Chain A
Amino acid sequence: MEQDRKRIHKAGWCILVLYICLSPATFAERPVITIEIRNHLFIPSEITVPANTKVKLMIKNLDSTAEEFESYELNREKVILGHQKAVIFIGPLSPGEYPFFGEFYPKTAQGKIIVE
Chain B
Amino acid sequence: MLLSSVIIILREVLEATLLIGVLLSLSKQTRLSTRWAPGSVFIGFVSAYFYSRNFTRISGWFEGMGQEVTNAFIQYLLYILILCIIVLLFRKTQRPTAKSWIISSIMALIVILSITHEGSEILIYLSNFFLVQDHVPIVIAGAVIGTSIGVSVGILIYFVLTNVMPHYSSYTGVFLLILFSGGMLSHATNLLIQADWLPSQLPIWNTSSIISEQSISGQLLYAIMGYEATPTVLHAAIYFGGLVVAMILAILSMTRNKWRVE
On whether the two chains bind one another, the answer is yes
Query: Which of A's residues lie within 8 Å of B, judged by CB?
Result: 16, 19-21, 23, 25-26, 52, 54, 64-66, 68, 72-73, 75-79, 81-82, 84-89, 91-94, 103-104, 106-107
**For the complex, is B253 an interface residue (Cβ under 8 Å from A)?**
no
Q: How many A-B residue pairs have CB under 8 A?
A: 87
A103 to B214, CA, bound (A): 12
- Quick check: A52 and B237 within 8 Å, CB to CB? no
Majority secondary structure of chain A interface residues (helix, strand, loop or mixed) = loop
- Quick check: A104 and B125 within 8 Å, CB to CB? yes
A41 to B202, CA, bound (A): 29
**For the complex, is B105 an interface residue (Cβ under 8 Å from A)?**
no
Please judge, given known A-B contacts A66-B128, A75-B230, whether A84 and B56 are in contact too, CB under 8 Å: yes
**For the complex, is B4 an interface residue (Cβ under 8 Å from A)?**
yes
| Neighbouring A residues of B136 by C-beta, 8 Å | none
A47 to B177, CA, bound (A): 40
A93 to B200, CA, bound (A): 10
Question: Which B-chain residue is minimally distant from A52 (CB atoms)?
Answer: B202
Query: Which of B's residues lie within 8 Å of A, judged by CB?
Result: 1, 4, 8, 55-56, 59, 64-65, 67-68, 121, 124-125, 127-129, 131-132, 190, 193-196, 199-202, 208, 212-214, 218, 228-230, 233-234, 237
Name 15 A/B residue pairs within 8 A (Cβ), A-sorted.
Answer: A19-B201, A19-B233, A25-B201, A78-B67, A78-B194, A79-B59, A81-B124, A84-B59, A86-B59, A86-B67, A87-B65, A89-B194, A89-B195, A93-B202, A107-B4
- Quick check: A92 and B125 within 8 Å, CB to CB? no
Question: Which B-chain residue is minimally distant from A92 (CB atoms)?
Answer: B202
Interface residue from B128, B190, B228 paired with A104 (Cβ < 8 Å):
B128
Interface residue from A54, A65, A72, A85 paired with B200 (Cβ < 8 Å):
A54
Majority secondary structure of chain B interface residues (helix, strand, loop or mixed) = helix
| Neighbouring A residues of B55 by C-beta, 8 Å | 79, 81
| Neighbouring A residues of B64 by C-beta, 8 Å | 85-87
A15 to B195, CA, bound (A): 24
Please judge, given known A-B contacts A23-B201, A79-B55, whether A73 and B195 are in contact too, CB under 8 Å: no
Question: Which A-chain residue is minimally distant from B194 (CB atoms)?
Answer: A76
A53 to B233, CA, bound (A): 17
- Quick check: A20 and B201 within 8 Å, CB to CB? yes
- Quick check: B8 and A81 within 8 Å, CB to CB? no
A51 to B240, CA, bound (A): 28
Please judge, given known A-B contacts A20-B233, A79-B124, A84-B59, whether A25 and B202 are in contact too, CB under 8 Å: yes
